[in-house]
Amino acid sequence: MRRGQAGALFEQLFAFAVVAVYCVLLAVTFRQSLVTGFVMIGLTIVFGLLIFAFAWFRERREKRRREQGCRDDIARAAAEHNAAIEAVFIGRGEGGYAAFGVAGAARKLIHARESYEKDRVRVLDFDQLSAAFARPDGGERFRLEARVRPADKSPQRAALFVAVLQRDEAERWVQVLQPHLGDKVRFVETADGSA
């Protein structure tokens, strides 16, 4: 058994043990006093709701922090290239959150993603893009993608993407890039790539 699996198993066994002890204490409490037993159940519900609310707020704060990290990376890259960002698209990418920043006047597309690698931010000229499109990506998500021409003789093109939740964002992606890329950008109605 791997170390991570053993840790997860220990956590589950510990949680079951705590629940079992709580059930025994609850049974003993109800046996001694009905009112105290109901008070104990009420306190348990209140503490459970507080824990749930704390976890929800913490998750929301972490999401905002990670999205802001992508925004900050885009802003720094734009400043280094003397470009003004006209539109930002934030969503899920490879390995975490990712974002596209479009600087139309400077003819730049900036892609930022959460990563421990050096290339967490890529600044591309529009001339480097072979295609850009938006398409459904399963469920309620839409994939915004930019295909980059290979820099060397490699036949494989790099694909940068951001998955967003709203169709409006996918349509806005096409509208923002249309004046700069012309017919190289489009909205694909199906996930398999047919228009």
> How far, in Å, CA of 190 to CA of 170, rounded?
13
Residue whose entry in the numeric block shows the structure tokens 């698209």:
89
Distance CA(26)–CA(21), nearest Å, equals: 9
DSSP calls for 27-73: HHHHHH-HHHHHHHHHHHHHHHHHHHHHHHHHHHHHHHHHHHHHHHH
Domain spans of the chain, in order of start: 3-63, 69-187
Mind giving me the DSSP string for 147-183?
A: EE--SSS-SPPEEEEEEES-HHHHHHHHHHHHHHHGG
The fold of 69-187 is PH-domain like (2.30.29)
pLDDT by 10s per residue, the chain, length 195: 566 676 678 888 888 888 888 888 888 888 888 888 888 889 889 988 998 999 999 999 988 898 898 899 899 999 999 989 999 999 888 778 889 999 988 899 999 988 766 678 888 888 888 888 898 887 788 999 898 877 655 555 678 888 888 888 889 999 999 988 888 888 887 655 444
pLDDT at 58: 92
For position 195, what pLDDT does the model report? 46
DSSP string, 69-123: HHHHHHHHHHHHTT----EEEEEEETTEEEEEEEETTTTEEEEEE--SSTTSEEE
pLDDT at residue number 94: 79
